[in-house]
Amino acid sequence: MIVYSDLDGTMVGPRGCFFRAADRSVTLEPARALATYLGAGHTLVLVSGRTRAQLQEAALIFGADGFVAELGALVAWESGRRVESLPAGSPATDDLVADLLAEFAGRLEHHAPWHVGHEVDVMLRGSVPDPEVREWLQRKGFGHLELRDNGVLPPQRETGLSVEGPVHVYHLLPAEVSKGAAVAWDLARRGLDPSEAVAVGDSASDLVMAAAVGRFFLVANGAEHAGELPANATVTDGPLGAGWAQAVTWATR
């Protein structure tokens, strides 16, 4: 069995800690599930909006065979020693990003400091309607780009924005890039059938993995913002690491 797992808001809890539950209490439940899963000889692949360098380190820490970085732009295996850039259209230019931030001032900004080091996508945060952004990109001649929603920030996170309600993390990237396409590519490279794969996530950008795998688990904290679920998707009983442990335990059987 192979598990493709999102990191932030899914596998790791508050402040990116693997040992913190949703209420910030210390928990060993995810670690126990991971140890049992890896001990049974199964494979873990991290799938994230994080950069190559960030995931290289995380893969070593969590015993993952490889990773999918920048929402599907890069795929790595053999403990991250081999990396392939998947074909995609032209990324956003610096001038376009500057114009986009000016157009949606107060509603969109760089997701600092995590936006640094990205090779293909641009990492942003804010609260903007998708149709409005798509229409603006079309007018600017960049209709091949999408502003992909990758989940929401904790309410207490400080930003420079002037928005009400949840602050979303976005990735501006070519439409051809997706976690689902990267997972499908990696499964084909490994010679595995989708029925041998499970994916876990917390956002709309994770749900696209469902079409590439046999079973998808959405951790409970992502259910409110994920939209309609595909037929092979299940919402876990618990949020964050508790839900992740439930999915990995199912995959271990």
Task: Give Cα 229 distance to the centre of its chain.
Answer: 16
In the chain, the DSSP E strands lie at 2-5, 43-47, 66-69, 74-77, 82-85, 108-110, 122-126, 145-152, 168-174, 197-201, 215-218, 233-235
What's the whole-model pTM score? 0.88
Q: In what order do the strands lie in the sheet with 108-110?
A: 108-110, 122-126, 168-174, 145-152
Q: Which domains does the chain have, with CATH numbers?
A: 2-86+177-252 (3.40.50.1000), 94-174 (no CATH)
Gyration radius of the chain's alpha carbons: 17
Looking at the DSSP bridge assignments, the partners of residue 165 are none
Q: Phi/psi zone of residue 159: left (φ > 0), alpha (ψ -120 to 50 degrees), beta? A: beta
List beta partners, residue 70.
Answer: none
- pLDDT tens-digit readout, 148-206: 988 888 877 789 898 988 999 999 999 999 999 999 999 999 999 999 999 999 988 89
* DSSP-assigned beta bridge partners for residue 42: none
Round to whole Å and give the CA distance between 97 and 204: 23
Residue 51: name the closest of 79, 80, 22, 88 by CA: 80
At 83, list the tokens: 């990396």
Q: What is the pLDDT of residues 36-75, one digit of tens each?
A: 999 999 999 999 999 999 999 999 999 999 999 999 999 9
Residue 95 is predicted with a pLDDT of 96
Nearest CA to 220 among 236, 200, 244?
A: 236
